[in-house]
Amino acid sequence: MKDIYFDNAASTPVDPRVTEAMHDCLCAESYGNPAAGIHGHGAAAGKLIEQASVQVAGLINGMPQGVIWTSGATESDNLAILGVARFRGEMQGKHIVTSITEHSAVLEPCRQLQSEGFDITYLHPDSEGRISPESVKNALRENTILVSLMHVNNEIGVIQDIAAVGQVCRDSDTLFHVDAAQSAGRLALDVVAQNIDLLSLSAHKMYGPKGIGVLYLNPQRINRLQPLMHGGGHQHGLRPGTLPTHQIVGMGMACEIAQAAVDSESGGIERLRETLWSEIATLPGLIRNSANADTVCGILSVSVAEVEGESLIHALRGLSVSSGSACNTASDDASYVLRALGRHDSLAESTIRFSLGRYTTAKEVAEAAAVFRNAVTELRCYVSRMDEVIEHAV
């Protein structure tokens, strides 16, 4: 059986329309440095980047001048959090609010800031993974300069009410940063209506190329950040380096496609996810994480009792899935997100994240469900036999 891809939350295939746009860019006479707008080749590259900025802004109802190109959402998160803190900390305060279930690209910069004398409040979610707007409001202080919350959790898919949190932040005149890597193209994003000041995006989570992302800055609220790197006046002095025109063109096209397809596409993916759950839910001892919360269309997180996590992953031959975040695969520790939901370590370690996407088919769902059911059944039978052998030996 051909391998079935159910790891779209880690990275998505590149849409053929994106590939075509990037190919055209590489083959056209737009190979000049976009910063060298004094001649035609540089100006041609600059125009393509301007067009891509319009495409990104269209997806989030933002302004093109607020688009800052980065290498991906991880860099965007770092630039947002470290940039705000180091620029505003001495003048306005050194308190930041986030949650314990954020992506490591948010948690690690916050830990770094703690070593620099900042005070970080880590909010705890409820048993479904939700952070309430009330808890954010209660955590705010006079010296709070930033709230950072992800729109969709990358492991369990739970959706945070960022519009309500954004209103809390705006009422207190606190900057609000949202990591939207998992929600862009799957949920409606509106930086104006949702009162978002900084927004992180990654192209490869929405059928674009790897290595390119965006930090969106609300031009009416933010006019300066402390840059992470130095070496030129590119992008208003916030992010130096020659811009990769073809990658930017690819992300722009991915955003344009996502804007047109977000509503119709999400419904179909959600129906396939629910079919997958109904096909495997007949197995005893399965827990659907965040079952009572709103979750993004493509993510299904399932904890499996009475099996060992690593053995389960290896038993799912031909099925590309994840045991959690692809960014934490080097760690043997149980998922901190699942532990925050109250899962004990053994159950957290035996959790599978199915993430469906644009190209997932009903046939693949049926095949994946069969592989999963067989793997769990075989592992449980094996464990039962080993228990019998040990009992007889004793």
Q: Would you name the residues annotated as active-site residues?
A: 327
Phi, psi dihedral angles at 279 (to 5 degrees): -75, -30
Which SS3 state, helix, strand or coil, does residue 255 take?
Answer: helix
Q: Are 244 and 332 in contact (CB under 8 A)?
A: no
| Residue 248, amino acid | I
Distance CA 328, CA 306 (A): 23
- Cα distances from 289 to residues 125, 148, 197, 323, 340, in angstroms, run 13, 23, 30, 13, 12
Strand partners, 187: 184
- Cα distances from 42 to residues 35, 46, 247, 322, in angstroms, run 7, 6, 16, 42
Residue 149: partners with Cβ closer than 8 Å, 6 or more residues away: 98, 99, 102, 131, 136, 160, 162, 165, 176, 177, 178, 179
Q: Exposed e or buried b for every residue in 237-261, given b needs 16+ CB within 10 A?
A: ebbeeebbbbbbbbbbbbbbbbbee
Residue 89: partners with Cβ closer than 8 Å, 6 or more residues away: 118, 145
Q: Give the N- to C-terminal CA distance of the chain in Å, as an integer.
A: 42
Q: Of 198, 365, 175, which is closest to residue 270 (Cα–Cα)?
A: 365
Which SS3 state, helix, strand or coil, does residue 105 take?
Answer: helix
Could you say which DSSP state residue 335 is in?
P
Q: Of 79, 78, 114, 121, which is closest to residue 96 (Cα–Cα)?
A: 121
Q: Of 199, 247, 306, 235, which is closest to residue 35 (Cα–Cα)?
A: 235
Q: Compute the chain's Rg from CA coordinates.
A: 22
Distance CA 216, CA 177 (A): 10
Distance CA 392, CA 394 (A): 5
Distance CA 212, CA 210 (A): 6
